Structure 1
Amino acid sequence: MNLISLQMKTSENFEENLEHLKKLILQCEDNSIILAPEIALSGFCYDRMQEASTFALKAIPQLQELAINKTIALTIITKENDKYFNTLYIFNNQKIIHNQSKVQLFPLGNELEHFHAGNEEDIKIIEIDGLKIATLICFELRFPKLWQKVLGADIVLNPAMWGLKRKDHYETISKSLALVNQCFVIASNSANDNMAKGSAIISPFGNVYKDDNKEILSQKVDLEEIKKVRKYINIGLDK
């Protein structure tokens, strides 16, 4: 199994962002779980929300088509009943198998003024090919009560646009989640100039693979590590 974090920049050109994302996905090996940064296709384009949500409808089937022998996850701007959401989509076997909208909006980034919060009930563990997978979106990483929602997952995804000034926070909390939950974590943060990067693949033992200079962070992992750490350091998560 390959775990892949895409550490890409997001420009103001939605079409270019999509084409670049597709190019990166095509470079990824089969049998991979691929995570892109938070709203990588558009960024927080508060003056273009309608345009971004319309573009997302065009992007979804194109990304869905690429999900052959690969699982692809990312968040996009969606619109429902005249309300905008930051919504995660997971594609597998060319199908949409899960979506959830960001529950904890970041107040310092004006998200509360432009997005509506999703339902906390949608943060849950799903199963893909026998693997238990869950997602916390960016700022949600800071909330202990949400860690309880993903407790027991084999892999936790965290798509983010996490600011440069809090880089150490992002890297520390991501590693802590892997250690406390005894799982793999895929952290995928934006590579924009004002963002922290810090994307990583983190093992249940807390081993961190990261490189702020790469767009594709890929690690072939041994999923038996999950059983090993939960057996030898038993905190009640052993299957």
Structure 2
Amino acid sequence: MSEKLNIAFIQANLKWEDSEANRKLFSAEIEKISDDVELIILPEMFTTGFSMNAEELAEETEAETLEWMRKTAREKSAAITGSVIISENANYYNRLFFVFPDGSYKLYDKRHTFTLAKEDETYTGGTERLIVEYKGWKICPLICYDLRFPVWARNTVDYDLLIYVANWPKKRINAWDALLKARAIENMAYCIGLNRTGEDGDGYVYNGHSAAYDPLGAELTELDRTDEFIAEFSIEKASLNEVRTQLKFLQDRDKFTLN
């Protein structure tokens, strides 16, 4: 068990629909990350940007990007997570991989497909939430539009860390800022949101605002959040346990199940 988890996330301007260029971009950025980092977070659809061109861009699960993630995780001795366009059984998925340092992995398919962009007409939504156990930490990784649905994120299993990887446009960035903080507070957990920057091929502008919050909603990464950058920081189990011991809000949570 690790009492402290060292994390890095990379806020980047993605190359539109160019998987090879994006893998090269992130390889170069990951080289800059400290050797003591144990978890590296990449954005939603980090090889392509938020594209509905799945027929042209989708990979099989066991293909180039997952192999790149596995190779990078082994070389950095760190877990890596982010989402990719995947083709499986005649369906397309916005699929997040959580790759462990030994190259093994778990996956999560985005549940809430973004109807405003007609993501639901291209991608099949997932049905299972993923809870990863890594170095003694319970981690719940989710994707972008999932942020708007607190029931799906509700901390019924006492996870420690909630992660959102995203392509969240500038025009709705106030909602991103507010909801990330709210998810941390209501779930009594650390919450990290990683967004992208730049403009995509559909003309949508992204201004980052990636951030990490502690269980009381205090920001851990006070940076100029509109530029490309790498953030490195740590979260601590003792601080989390202290807050949960003093403020037993999770014990008063409603009991429910999703249909």
TM-score by length of 1: 0.91
SS at match of 2:231: strand
SS of equivalent residue, structure 2 residue 104: strand
Match of 1:191 among 175, 193, 197: 197
The percent identity for this pair of structures is 23
> For 1:49-98, what per-residue CA distance to the aligned partner results, in whole angstroms no more than 9, with x for missing partners?
33342598212112111113211100000001111100000011232331
One-letter identity of the residue aligned with 2:129: I
Shift in Å, 1:16: 1.1
Q: What one-letter code is carried by the residue in structure 2 that aligns with 1:65?
A: K
Report the equivalent of 1:103.
Answer: 111
Q: CA deviation at 1:223?
A: 2.5
- 1:1-239 matches, cutoff 5 A: 1-12=5-16, 13-29=18-34, 30-47=36-53, 49-53=55-59, 57-68=63-74, 69-119=77-127, 122-148=128-154, 152-193=158-199, 194-208=205-219, 209-211=221-223, 212=225, 213-236=227-250
**What is the distance in 1 between the residues matched to 2:82 and 2:70?**
11
Structure 1 unaligned residues grouped into runs of 5+: none
1:203 and 1:44 map into 2 onto residues whose CA distance is 28
- Looking at structure 1, the residues matched to 45 and 111 of structure 2 have their Cα atoms a distance apart, in angstroms, of 15
Number of residue equivalences:
236
Cα offsets for 1:142-191 (capped at 9, x unmatched): 11220226652111110001111110100110111111111111211011
Q: CA deviation at 1:112?
A: 1.3
**One-letter amino acid matched to 1:11:** K
Aligned to 2:255: none
**Structure 2: distance between partners of 1:191 and 1:150:** 33
Contact 1:182 1:204 in 2 (8 A): yes
- Alpha carbon RMSD of aligned pairs, Å? 2.1
4+ long deviations beyond 6 Å: none
- Partner AA of 2:28 in structure 1: K
CA shift, 1:210, in A, is 4.0
**Cα deviation per residue 1:189-237 (whole Å; 9 max; x = unaligned)?**
0112312411012112322114312421111232211101101111136
Q: 1:167 to 1:150 in 2, by over 3 A?
A: farther
Unaligned runs of at least 5 residues, structure 2: 200-204, 252-259
Q: Which has the higher helix share?
A: 1
